[in-house]
Structure 1
Amino acid sequence: MDLEALAKAAVAVLVPVGTLIGVGSRRSRLRHEIRENLTLVKELEQDDVIREHSLATAWLQGKITVDVAKLAGRSLGTPKKPIPWGSIVVTGLIGAAFGLWTWYLARDGFVWYVTFPGVASALMLISIMGQLTGRELPPGSSDLPEGATPVRTDTAAEQIASSIALAASSGLDGRFAEGGQVWVCYQFLTSMREGRYEEGLTFADHDWALCRVQSWLWNNRDSFGADLGELDSLAASLANHHEPTEAWAGFVETETNQFVTTWEPLDPDRYGAASHRRRIARDYDLVILAPVGSSGGYFVTSATAVPNALIFVVHRESDAWLVSNHVGMAPPTPGWPPVWWATQDPSIEALDD
């Protein structure tokens, strides 16, 4: 009997079995830990002080979420650059060639010039090691305003825990839900940038639509005349009934081109809303959408200029929030020309003193 063959066969069988047992035991321990933590969450929620004055429950729920993701086989590691296998193969072949040359030169004994191919071979090996290590991608935060601290952390596990804590701390309130102030701004922005102007009108209030019509008519007085009474009648007909049809089609075409040109480069998924509600009057709120880039969000501890932010005034009508202004910080005022409460408005600047 060949003992060596038997030993190899035993190793071939026992190693995979041992691996399976190890994996199985880890998964079993993880399930047990999740069950224990769920029980602990229920107990913590029964304590009024912990529930109302700390995030202990939220952080434990974040850990449970991470553990469930691990149990489901989801990757939670830091994002890494892909391994450049083509470059590694080429580098390996070159290194092997230099190594073979080194051996050939030193086969009968060491000679001083053998160091050149030897060093080249070693450098190729170091290059391969460099390509296999240090591939972690740092979180992108270069697109944040000065003084901002990104919310996103280095690891996906910490990101999940932070999200759970944010939700538990009421950072996500009804403003983000369907029909809320932030929700309607995102719907309005998405519709307008994609050229669906008439759909976007459903997310704006009547005064916004009327003022847009008035702005268009005022800028086209050469075509529609300068009689304010006639302009009033035409503006009301366009805003309320979308008639005359030909004039309405021209208005929609002009507006669509303007919004698409201005907003199409924006990616709504890379914008975030300010966490605190900003009320400016009864039934009027201010919503700020700021670019967060790849940071997933950020916070500031002092007054910070936020470049490229979008500011919306939203108005509540019959328990529904609608966009009232997209360029100023107050509801627009209908008139000839309408007032948008924005600086450098060409129509306002062209008025006589």
Structure 2
Amino acid sequence: MSGAPASRSTNCAGKGCRRHLAVALACVGALLGTKLNADFYFGAAVGGDRLPSMRLVSGDDDRASRCDEYINPRYAELPACTAPDRSVGAADAWSSRFASAWGAQSGVAVGYRLGERYRIELEADYGSVGLDTSSPIIAPSGIPYDTVAAPELADAYERIGNAKFLGLFVTAYVDLPNPSRFTPFIGIGTGVGFASMDYDVLWERTDNLDNIVYAGAGLPNEDEIRRNLVGGDTRARQRLRDRLGAAHVTLGIGYALTERMSLEIRARHVRSSAFGDGGSYITLRGHPSGLRRDGSEPVRWHVGTEDTSRTHVGLRLNYRL
């Protein structure tokens, strides 16, 4: 490549360069032509926001209870408790399911009309859905954990409170003008979404010492482990947050109220990338979120979902400047 003549990188006399130049000039001419007919406008929207049914998949880098120094001071005698690999595997994961729900949606937009049929917008959409519901934690086997680990585990659930989504989009619209005051349109946009949700998780250990039967089984200090573990709940509560790539398709029909004002009925489907966040437990088996008293093995959890699509249905009022 270094031996190629320098004139090939700077000479634009060839047919290929002339063709690209002609296309560029045509595009500039088209933009200049449409700019003369362009109009700015503002829009404000209200409506409903539907969150789909959602499956949360969660996990942490915890070890077995018998490897927890707070529970078993003799953990170092067990080779598995000092192995370096604490990565989350299929056996360490859990899941829960939540039904779809509706909430409120609002939005604002600044638009720029390019001729009669085309327009482009900068949009901000905000949706809030109050789920406020709990779901049993499911083991990889498909059975609820409070059944698998009974009677030692009294309850195990995840809860989602309020789920919010702020989307910032650049959207291109195509209008289908006709002699009537109604104008159907379609829009495609891309941008970024800021998602958040209130999240709680609880693994409630029984307060009955006789029901602590698994953690210390077969160990010489089994009674000590059982006493340390009884009533030792694991819980977390946090506002989960993540930034997502997002895109949408919007369909609707507008009605010209006056020369400057129009009212739109619109429906939008938003698809986003996977959501995920995590943190430390408030309590891990009744003690700080770590396995060692010197703090050398902190424990963190993570929760995520791929069910991030949303549907908006509502009205928008546009005002042309």
Same fold (TM over 0.5): no
Higher strand share: 2
Q: TM-score, length-normalised on structure 2? A: 0.21
RCO greater where, 1 or 2, for CA within 8 Å and sep 6 or more? Answer: 2
For the pair shown, which has the larger CA radius of gyration, 1 or 2?
1
Higher helix share: 1
